[in-house]
Chain A
Amino acid sequence: MTDGKAYRRDVLKAGGAAAALGVGGSGFLQTLVESEEDQPSTSGFESFVGQNDVVQTVCSPNCRGKCPIDVHVRDGQVKKIEPHPPEDEQYKRACVLGLSHTQRVYDPTRLKYPMKRADWSPDKPNPQGRGPDAEFERVSWDEALDLVADKMQSLKADHGAESVLFHEGSGNYGQSGKSFKRLASLFGATQSAWGIDTNVGRGFNRVTGVGAFLPPTNEAEDWENANTIIVWGSDIFSSQFQMDASKILDAIENGAKLVVVDPVYTTTASKADLWLPVEPGKDVHLALAMMHTVFEDETYDEDFLRKRTTAPALIRKDTGELLKASDVFEDGGENQVVAVERGSGSPVALEPETGGAYALFGEFTVDGVECETALTRLRDHVADYAPEKVAETTGVDAENIRTAIRWLATRGPGGIAPSYALGRYKHGHIFGQAYAMLMGMTGDYGRHGNIHAHHSGGATLAAGDWASPSDADPGPSLTFPEYPDAMIDGDPHKIRAVYSIESNMMGNQFPDRQRFREAIRSLEMYVVADMHHTDTVQHADIILPVPHWFEQEDISSGWGSHPHLGYRHKVQEPMWEAKDDYYAIRGLAERFGYGDRFPETKRDMLRKLAGRDDDIDFDTLFEQGTQKKESVPIVKYTDAFPTETGRIKMYDDDAPSEEGVTFDVPRPLEDRTADDYEQADEYPLMFMQKHSRFRIHSQYEMLNWVREINPEPQLDIHPKDAKARGIDDGEYVRVYNDRGEMVVKAKYNDAFQPGLVNTDQGWWSRDFVEGHLQDLTHNEVSEVGQTMAFYDVRVAVESAPDDVDTDKYGSDNPRGSGAKATPTGGD
């Protein structure tokens, strides 16, 4: 590390090593390897005894982990990854993927040079040339940035800046994204608004005033104080929390009860004291039955309900609106709600965080207006949801429903840890509303041992208005689900060019893949920056090669994780001509005339951003590698809720509605899981795409160590469903619906509920025998939830045609030929 030149030479040796592992051929690899001469010869190492150098850095994908790691370098190569204990050592962690960067950093899918699609030019974009057969030619960085800048500026002149979309994914938890948004704001481009996994948080937010994705929850170190943990729709030990698994295990070891609500008998369910095998889409019914039980048992937390919720607030029977203090008192506030004091029977305006002898139940007439309390309304609403009554709907035994919620209501502090999966049903926001209220009833906010989401919040770098400077005139934003209509039909406005960073949007986590491909083919320019040759890159016009995280300096931050920020020190210089996103962003800014708004080097930018956060000292963070942000509260929800009343809403008189249903209280509404869904007979199986422990979205797909354990996409199917279709275990099957199909190997799995099938997500096109799992998903979203509903999908399954070619998983390819980067691997 001390001798830059020698180091660089060593790094190039590694390139040769990658080349010797099967890189070669044409097509797919043209973006990677320019010519044979370009590959240094493979000079193998004589010995494994060499200079050891350990560089402390940070892993940075969207698992939220941000694990501090030590990268061991020997003879100029990354050789080993180990977890690095941060200042607060209990957050030492890493997972099977972070430990395997040793393979990722040298994988042949790494992009090497800026490239241009051979048949693309600014004036003749030839959109039909995009996709699997596209060929690319090498250009210099200056040429690439000139082409992009010129095209963006001509589009701006002809059609307005909003015709250019800046799309940012979740593939790199550093600070470049903020500068990407800054550039978009200054240019006036359309900016992307998140449309994935925002459903549950929206519902929770309606009740508590907080939550966008999953709501905040106590930091992981506090989880051992929980006495009951209801993990709902989450395989928490396999996805997003596995590096913190010890925290839940410690709670269990301390005597906590673990309940798992899931249609799948997951790894997490296998650790549970009680598993509730709910049917897909019936979660709101189940939550309402739990509320019913709490009312029936009278185990609600009366003090909490009076002090921190609107449970005692009066609802006007005439209008259905909450009675306001301004209706009752001359000086009453318009946002203040009113309760009745027991004993005196007088109306009282409710203040935030203030308890009193308020009546929780009852009907009252105040100044001639007939009212009832919000909790009375809720109790009447859930009267129809007795556990026995929902048992058949939900598929869950009534007594087990009671047991689960009795544990939470009576065993002291605890919580409900839902995952994003519930929001992957179209109307998943209703569950967010329901469990937020249920936890209000049990009083589980603001205490040690409370849990509200299946991963904790962690530390974020507060960078102020960097992404949207006050003098900029930012363009509109467009949610992900709106992309196709905007690109194809100009609704709400025409998108003509896209600049995409940190996103494999064409290969993963964007549903209805064929429709999105059509949308991309309607663009005049598609610029994609990435580390690897993903499916998305294969559809690009301009490819900007981004270095591996170990070759980019950054501050690892962003939402979600442990309470430290991490300094991502470079382990090695970027290989080939890969350059940090910040280089391209600043290069474009210079061409647009805003170069002076962006510090010259990445480190200058990082120093500047860190300077905006009072809790962080750049030099300390740089030197220590991690800095704990002491302002991150371990226990959340200790102050007044940011709602109009400062209280949790147990009734919402300003609730949205959709499909004729109003969400003043949680009301079940289903889409394709509904028993009477019109295509239920044609496509009888529900299809989900679980997050596995073997990939993070589509990242790490190429790890050969991991592919020895998990080599190919499979269809988890209950043997009963398989046998009914004449499907043998291990046979290739065709999974299809009216949007598309895929061919994968069937895996008999008794863990899956009959009627529900699954293919773990994150596989690239090259891994499927035919098609892709996103060919089956749809882009229809709830008006209220505005979130892609990946699991609200129906399919049919049959044996694959006899002539299907499954050679890529033949005995010669135990890890799948996809991992060998074959010439056809791009699509």
Chain B
Amino acid sequence: MTKHGLVIDQERCIGCQACAVSCKQENNVPMGQFWNRVLTEGGEKMDTPSGGYPEDGGSGSLDMQYQPTACQHCENAPCVKVCPVNATYTRDDGIVEIDYDKCIGCRYCMAACPYNARVFNWDEPEHMPEEGTGDVEARPQGVVEKCTFCSHRVDEGLDPACVVNCPADARIFGDLDDESSTVSKYIDKYETDQLLEDRGTDPNTYYISGEMSPGRPQTSDKMESELDDVSPWSDGDDDVPSKEADSAGGESSGSSHSVEGGEIPYATPAKSGGDD
């Protein structure tokens, strides 16, 4: 079996927003909505740190990290369970998708998703340019939409748009069921977290924090399984530390992240009903 998963190396992520915007372009995401947001772990607003500016000339307590966040494609997806019309479902390859023809816009899934990953088309979707961009299925007013892991690309053997457009090589996509895949190796060898692990959702999205990985050098837009070499960017085991040796990773928690107050109207709490 194949189970698609994503590893995001937060040590590499530079918060450049290329993944957020290329996602909109690729997937024809309406204006005012984001499927993929780059959250700042730090201060209350985007690109601000937590802690205080050093007063003694030292390095002080300031701290900041970026956490790109989209649908986590959970193994045990709460959105799938609550959908009364089976519009949200899990594909055989692990990708959680929505059948927009079935969606009745009840938004139970938005309430159930602890990651605030879903958006609802309250109005007729607006695009700039008006005719839209992405060559994907159109979503009408009144349905919920979210990240699909670019399943239209994956089905053609291409990595998701956010992965191929990352200039920091911070996003790695692959088959979690294949233990020789880079995602599997990285999860094994680095300190990785799933967001809100205590919710039991078992996301197929993992975050590296602590020791930096070699990432996924962007020399091709093909999926790893489509490449001739098994893993041309992985030098092998000698350049990755063992998990035991590294205890640094920070705790990830959806509630500690924020974006600039109300300025990104992708899903306001009142409408989204997210529980964080």
Residues of A whose CB lies within 8 Å of any CB of B are 14, 17-18, 20-21, 42, 44-45, 48-49, 52, 74-75, 77, 79-83, 85, 89-90, 92-96, 99-100, 102-103, 106, 237-238, 242-246, 249-250, 252-254, 265, 267, 269-271, 274-275, 277, 391, 394-398, 400, 693-694, 704-706, 708-709, 711, 718, 730, 747-754, 814
Contact = CB atoms under 8 A, between A and B. Distances in A.
Nearest to A67: B167
12 contacts: A89-B220, A92-B219, A95-B18, A102-B129, A246-B218, A253-B212, A253-B214, A270-B49, A270-B63, A270-B64, A705-B25, A708-B31
Chain A interface main SS type:
mixed
B165 interface: yes
Interface stretch (B67-75, B242-250, B257-265): B257-265
A110 to B, nearest CB: 12
B12 interface: yes
Nearest to A692: B47
A80 B133 CA distance: 6
B219 A85 contact: yes
Given A79-B133, A750-B62, A48 B138 contact: yes
Contacts of B195: none
A45 B135 CA distance: 12
A288 B272 CA distance: 56
A80 B53 contact: no
Contact of A89 (B167, B213, B219): B219
A158 B59 CA distance: 63
B31 A704 contact: yes
B45 interface: yes
Contacts of A237: 14-16, 168
A96 B18 contact: yes
A385 to B, nearest CB: 15
Given A102-B25, A267-B47, A814-B263, A397 B57 contact: yes
Contacts of A74: 135
A750 B14 contact: no
B17, B212, B219, B265 pick with most chain A CB within 10 angstroms: B17
Interface residues of B, number: 69
Contacts of B221: 82
Given A82-B164, A99-B22, A237-B14, A93 B129 contact: no
Chain B interface main SS type:
loop
B13 to A, nearest CB: 9
A14 B131 CA distance: 9
Given A79-B135, A395-B57, 17 more contacts: A17-B131, A82-B164, A85-B219, A90-B219, A96-B18, A96-B21, A246-B167, A249-B169, A250-B169, A250-B215, A267-B64, A397-B58, A693-B17, A709-B46, A711-B263, A747-B48, A751-B43
Contacts of B52: 750
A246 B168 contact: yes
Interface of B: 11-12, 14-18, 20-22, 24-26, 28, 31-32, 34, 42-43, 45-54, 56-60, 62-65, 128-136, 138, 161, 164-165, 167-170, 212-215, 217-221, 239, 261, 263-265
B25 A81 contact: yes
B165 A82 contact: yes
Given A249-B12, A270-B65, A80 B129 contact: no
B46 to A, nearest CB: 7
A90 B233 CA distance: 11
A438 B113 CA distance: 55
B30 to A, nearest CB: 11
A609 to B, nearest CB: 30
Nearest to B133: A79
B212 A705 contact: no
Contacts of B62: 265, 269-270, 750-751
Contact of B213 (A14, A253, A396): A253
A568 B169 CA distance: 26
Nearest to A99: B22
A17 B57 contact: no
Given A93-B167, A395-B57, A48 B136 contact: yes
A237 B130 CA distance: 32
A400 B264 contact: no
Contact of B217 (A90, A94, A100, A753): A90
Contacts of B43: 749-751
Given A103-B129, A265-B62, A751-B48, A83 B212 contact: no
B16 A242 contact: yes
Contacts of B130: 17, 20-21, 42, 44
A237 B42 CA distance: 17
Contact of A99 (B12, B25, B32, B128): B25
Contacts of B58: 397, 400
Contact of B32 (A20, A267, A708): A708
Given A245-B167, A265-B53, A751-B48, A45 B16 contact: no
Contacts of B170: 249
Contacts of A753: 53
In the A-B complex, the 8 residue pairs with the smallest Cβ-Cβ separation, listed nearest first, are: A397-B57, A89-B219, A237-B14, A270-B64, A246-B169, A265-B62, A96-B17, A17-B130
A301 B220 CA distance: 42
B134 A92 contact: no
Given A48-B132, A85-B219, A814-B32, A249 B212 contact: yes
Contacts of A398: 57
Contact of B167 (A20, A244, A754): A244
Nearest to A100: B21
B63, B128, B213, B264 pick with most chain A CB within 10 angstroms: B128
A42 B132 CA distance: 13
A45 B131 contact: yes
Contacts of B50: 750
A267 B213 CA distance: 18
Contacts of B168: 237, 245-246, 249
Contacts of B14: 237-238, 242, 245, 267, 271
